Amino acid sequence: MEATVLHCVDADSRTRAELARATFALGYHAEVYGSIEELAQHAPEDGIVIARDDPSRGGISEALDVLERSGVWLSVIAMGDAPSAARIVAAVKAGALDYLSLPLDRQRFAATLRRVGEEARRAAQLRRRMIEARARIADLTTREREVLDQLTEGASNKAIARALAISPRTVEIHRANMMGKLGARHPADAVRLRIEARLEP
């Protein structure tokens, strides 16, 4: 069985080296990067990202945004020096699977990797679907997006027409265009994509 790849991201070369040593010692394969942008340029398709939570660069939330814009859906474990509870909570809310304190405790590192292994694969697939759904929805016009949002709320064509102050026939045209762009055969397909995209209304 091929070893899981850990993509270690940190501007500090010593931290990268320590992460790589610990990774190899635990039987994983390590790839190291000086920044999240460098990792995004390589666009890896498998493994887990371990990235520095740097508040001066937008934290893990910004790192996840960079990965999403680059079409990278891998799960992320955050790391930081003596992180506060608030930083850990913010990172997890942003989408990090876990948070490692630096300097690295190898036993906790090993336990974290064992625990998040299967979760990381599931989370990566969810992120992949989210990113792909967002990319499709981004191609919609403003009106088509409004129709999709209303459809997701369970509104009928007549109700959508009233809400958007347009005719039911115009709703049908926007709805047909929206369905075509999303590659949706049925309204349920379009609603599923909207839910998978996890977009705010």
Question: How high is the pLDDT of residue 1?
Answer: 40
DSSP the chain: -PPPEEEEE-S-HHHHHHHHHHHHHTT-EEEEESSHHHHHHH---SSEEEEE--GGGTHHHHHHHHHHHTT---EEEEEEES--HHHHHHHHHHT-SEEEEES--HHHHHHHHHHHHHHHHHHHHHHHHHHHHHHHHHTS-HHHHHHHHHHHTT--HHHHHHHHTS-HHHHHHHHHHHHHHHT-SSHHHHHHHHHHHT---
What integer pLDDT is reported at residue 114 of this predicted model?
A: 84
Predicted TM-score (pTM) of the model is 0.64
Query: Quick one: pLDDT at residue 3?
Result: 63
Residue-by-residue pLDDT tens, the chain, 201 positions: 456 889 999 999 999 999 999 999 998 899 999 999 999 999 888 889 999 999 888 899 999 999 988 888 888 999 999 889 999 999 998 889 899 999 889 899 998 888 887 676 776 677 778 778 888 999 999 999 999 999 988 899 999 999 999 999 999 999 999 999 999 888 888 988 888 887 765
